């Protein structure tokens, strides 16, 4: 666009922005864009969501008109909450620099919104002749329909073409954005379904033990969320090869109430309405189906009583299972010298999971700060990056280099039955299609776990027996000002306030297999304390000691702390 045309074009755009934000006045309070975007009581969000529509359109125009996504969801939060999160053109999370713009826009006065938009246009050198494209979706919350209207208006005010994809899982939207920008026919919802179903079926056929080996049925708690809608379709497409028995499908219960991945992980109890018979395979999705938890009843009880006989297989277990499974085929394909494979964890990963990965599986493990955006970014630095948070959010990423080598191996060995090496190339190719390359995805993770167990002939019992978790505790300490607590080394070391880390180090040295760290919350004045040790008695002593140190040195405001513990 010629310079003489820039100012009139900007004036027209800013006038359009002014008109839309007048309809969505700013609510009281402050907003901060985090890993999950914005998330709070839905009544506070109309202005925020409208402005994120504006920002999504600006982001698209800054990226030369590539598609950008916006999803209205609050994931595992209660039904009266909602939120909004933006998706970059590669299908990943919003660029950190643009997270800053998001926070500025969300908190700006009506007048300052125009200044911020103008500043973004100048800083990002946005060509105003470029037409933006925004894909939007939402989960099943009733408030979503209201909020999506504001999102649509905001994006259209900046001249973007908007495609409303309706009610989708969050990973489905990420997938759609990624593959739309690759000009792929598989960017549609049907394309997403066909892609993972085809990969799953081919993997069953490629099973070295034979394609007629039985796949264990799985009971799936859908948290009364969006996952239930699309899992019913997926189950139909995979029948009779695999059987999915759906619970908490939204017809009667309340979203995330007594069910879902967060409920199962935090309380380590069965979801409401799902009776687990001994050794039955079960799992729970979260409200927007980007996280998954696996669990079973070990047979000690009926599985009806709260927590009795309950055994959890969390994100650490998924990372261990899938990393070992994939690495085996990397070795058989003789790609281990050409490809780097790394497992990415956070400080919350159980110490024995890390020991299993490095000691038993001989894999490289790296640690990042808490937050899936940090794990995803680190995984992208490797040819095969396996990342999972303990909460069940994660996937396996294959680099362009890895895919090129795998494809070359398939082309050189078109018959998978010709050798073990040939079969391994074909298996790796299908796994790269099955596992969502944009974001953690409960559906693709569930199918990948089923394939790994099928190939190995494992039950959940075999899976959990790979290693034993160290007893651990997670606690919260309320403080006057969380900002005085600062960390380094992927949040494993505390550098402020002075002396706190020295106290933690002394306590850890006195405990067998002890480990502990503290980190401030990103949203409220609390400090999280994580501790693990060889026995429950030792971990209780360590946890209580670190809590007391944080309270004294970091300025605790009361003596009431909240604990979560492993079982």
Chain segment 466-515, per-residue pLDDT in tens = 999 999 999 999 999 999 999 999 999 999 999 999 999 999 999 999 99
- pLDDT at residue 237 is higher than 50: yes
Amino acid 320: pLDDT: 98
Chain segment 318-364, per-residue pLDDT in tens = 999 999 999 999 999 999 999 999 999 999 999 999 999 999 999 99
Amino acid 524: pLDDT: 80
Please state, rounded to an integer, the average pLDDT across all residues of the chain: 93
Higher pLDDT, 371 or 324: 324
Mean pLDDT within 363-376? 94
Amino acid 35: pLDDT: 82
Model confidence at 565, pLDDT cuts 50, 70, 90, reads: low
- pLDDT at residue 560 is higher than 60: no
Q: What is the CATH number of the domain that holds 490?
A: 3.30.310.50
Whether 147 is in a domain gets the answer yes
Q: What is the CATH number of the domain that holds 348?
A: 3.40.120.10
Chain segment 14-70, per-residue pLDDT in tens = 999 999 999 999 988 889 998 889 999 999 999 999 999 999 999 999 999 999 999
The last residue of one of the domains, among 313, 330, 361, is 313
How far, in whole angstroms, is CA 85 from its chain's centroid? 12
The closest alpha carbon to 156, from 71, 44, 8, 50, belongs to: 50
Mean pLDDT within 214-232? 96
- pLDDT at residue 278 is higher than 90: yes
Same domain assignment for residues 323 and 437: yes
Dihedral angle, C-alpha 26, 27, 32, 38, nearest 10 °: -90
How far, in whole angstroms, is CA 342 from its chain's centroid? 18
Model confidence at 210, pLDDT cuts 50, 70, 90, reads: confident
Question: How many percent of the chain have pLDDT more than 90?
Answer: 89
Distance CA 379, CA 395 (A): 9
Whether 463 is in a domain gets the answer no
Amino acid 558: pLDDT: 72
Distance CA 184, CA 91 (A): 13
Whether 500 is in a domain gets the answer yes
- Angle between helix axes 420-434 and 315-332 (nearest 10 degrees) is 140
Same domain assignment for residues 328 and 307: no
Number of domains in the chain: 4
Model confidence at 208, pLDDT cuts 50, 70, 90, reads: confident
Name 49's Cβ contacts closer than 8 Å, sequence gap at least 6.
24, 72, 84, 147, 148, 150, 151, 154
Amino acid 342: pLDDT: 98
Distance CA 110, CA 30 (A): 15
Instruction: Look up the domain containing 555 and give its range.
Output: 472-565
> pTM for the complete prediction?
0.94
Whether 187 is in a domain gets the answer no
Whether 551 is in a domain gets the answer yes
Same domain assignment for residues 106 and 56: yes
Same domain assignment for residues 301 and 322: no
Model confidence at 6, pLDDT cuts 50, 70, 90, reads: low
Mean pLDDT within 104-123? 95
Catalytic residue ranges = 75
CA distances for 327 relative to 356, 390, 428, 538, angstroms:
14, 21, 10, 35
Same domain assignment for residues 340 and 418: yes
State the burial class of residue 35 (Cβ atoms within 10 Å of its Cβ: 0-12, 13-18, 19+). Answer: middle
Same domain assignment for residues 47 and 103: yes
Same domain assignment for residues 142 and 201: no
Mean pLDDT within 177-206? 92
Whether 362 is in a domain gets the answer yes
- pLDDT at residue 12 is higher than 80: yes
Name 369's Cβ contacts closer than 8 Å, sequence gap at least 6.
346, 490, 491
- pLDDT at residue 561 is higher than 60: no
Chain segment 283-306, per-residue pLDDT in tens = 999 999 999 999 999 987 654 445
Amino acid 567: pLDDT: 44
Same domain assignment for residues 45 and 158: yes
Least confident of 188-192, 306-310, 436-440, 519-523: 306-310
Chain segment 132-166, per-residue pLDDT in tens = 999 999 999 999 999 999 999 999 999 999 999 99
The last residue of one of the domains, among 313, 343, 360, is 313
Q: Which residues are annotated as a binding site for Mg(2+)?
A: 75, 286, 288, 290
- pLDDT at residue 564 is higher than 80: no
Same domain assignment for residues 295 and 335: no
Whether 460 is in a domain gets the answer no
- pLDDT at residue 280 is higher than 80: yes
| Three-class DSSP category at 221 | strand
Greatest distance between any 2 Cα atoms in the chain: 77
Same domain assignment for residues 28 and 149: yes
Least confident of 14-28, 97-111, 175-189: 175-189
The last residue of one of the domains, among 313, 338, 360, is 313
Same domain assignment for residues 309 and 319: no
Same domain assignment for residues 45 and 126: yes
Whether 174 is in a domain gets the answer no
């Amino acid at each position: 666009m010629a310079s003489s045309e820039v100012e009139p074009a900007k004036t027209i755009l800013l006038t359009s922005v002014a008109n839309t934000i007048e309809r969505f006045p700013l609510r009281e309070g402050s907003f901060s864009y985090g890993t999950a975007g914005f998330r709070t009581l839905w009544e506070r969000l109309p202005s925020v969501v409208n402005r994120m529509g504006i920002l999504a359109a600006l982001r698209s125009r800054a990226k030369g008109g590539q598609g950008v996504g916006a999803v209205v969801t609050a994931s595992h939060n209660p039904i009266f909450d909602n939120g909004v999160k933006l998706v970059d053109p590669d299908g990943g999370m919003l660029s950190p620099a643009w997270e800053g713009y998001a926070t500025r826009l969300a908190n700006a006065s009506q007048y300052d919104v125009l200044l911020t938009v103008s500043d973004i246009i100048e800083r990002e050198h946005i060509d105003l002749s470029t037409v933006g494209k925004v894909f939007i979706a939402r989960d099943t919350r009733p408030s979503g329909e209201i909020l999506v209207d504001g999102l649509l208006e905001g994006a259209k005010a900046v001249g973007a073409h908007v495609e409303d994809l309706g009610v989708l899982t969050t990973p489905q939207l990420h997938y759609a954005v990624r593959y739309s920008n690759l000009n792929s026919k598989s960017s549609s919802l049907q394309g997403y379904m066909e892609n993972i179903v085809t990969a799953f079926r081919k993997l069953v056929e490629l099973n070295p033990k034979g394609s007629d080996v039985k796949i264990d049925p799985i009971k799936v708690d859908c948290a009364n969320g969006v996952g239930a809608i699309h899992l019913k379709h997926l189950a139909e497409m995979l029948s009779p090869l695999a059987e999915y028995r759906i619970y908490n499908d939204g017809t009667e219960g309340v979203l995330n109430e007594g069910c879902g991945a967060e409920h199962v992980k935090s309380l380590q109890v069965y979801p409401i309405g799902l009776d687990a018979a001994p050794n039955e395979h079960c799992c729970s999705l979260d409200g927007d189906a980007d996280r998954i938890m696996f669990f079973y009843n070990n047979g000690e009880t009926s599985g009806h009583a709260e927590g009795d006989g309950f055994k959890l297989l969390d994100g650490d277990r998924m990372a261990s299972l899938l990393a070992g499974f994939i690495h085996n085929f990397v070795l058989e394909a003789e790609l281990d010298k050409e490809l780097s494979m790394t497992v990415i964890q956070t400080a919350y990963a159980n110490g024995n999971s890390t020991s299993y990965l490095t000691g038993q599986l001989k894999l490289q493990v790296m640690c990042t700060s808490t937050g899936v955006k940090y794990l995803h970014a680190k995984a992208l630095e490797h040819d095969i990056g396996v990342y999972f948070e303990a909460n069940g959010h994660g996937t396996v990423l294959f680099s362009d280099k890895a895919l090129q080598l795998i494809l070359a191996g398939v082309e050189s060995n078109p018959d998978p039955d010709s050798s073990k090496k040939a079969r391994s190339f074909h298996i790796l190719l299908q796994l790269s299609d099955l596992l969502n390359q944009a974001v953690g995805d409960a559906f693709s993770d569930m199918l990948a776990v089923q394939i790994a167990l099928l190939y190995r002939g494992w039950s959940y019992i075999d899976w959990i027996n790979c290693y034993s978790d160290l007893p651990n505790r997670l606690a919260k300490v309320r403080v006057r000002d969380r900002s005085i607590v600062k960390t380094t080394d992927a949040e494993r070391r505390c550098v402020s306030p002075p002396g706190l880390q020295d106290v933690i180090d002394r306590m850890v040295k006195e405990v067998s297999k002890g480990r502990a760290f503290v980190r401030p919350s990103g949203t409220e004045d609390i400090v999280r304390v994580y501790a693990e040790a060889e026995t429950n008695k030792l971990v209780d002593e360590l946890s209580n000691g670190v809590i007391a140190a944080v309270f004294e040195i970091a300025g605790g405001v009361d003596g009431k702390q909240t604990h979560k513990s492993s079982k």
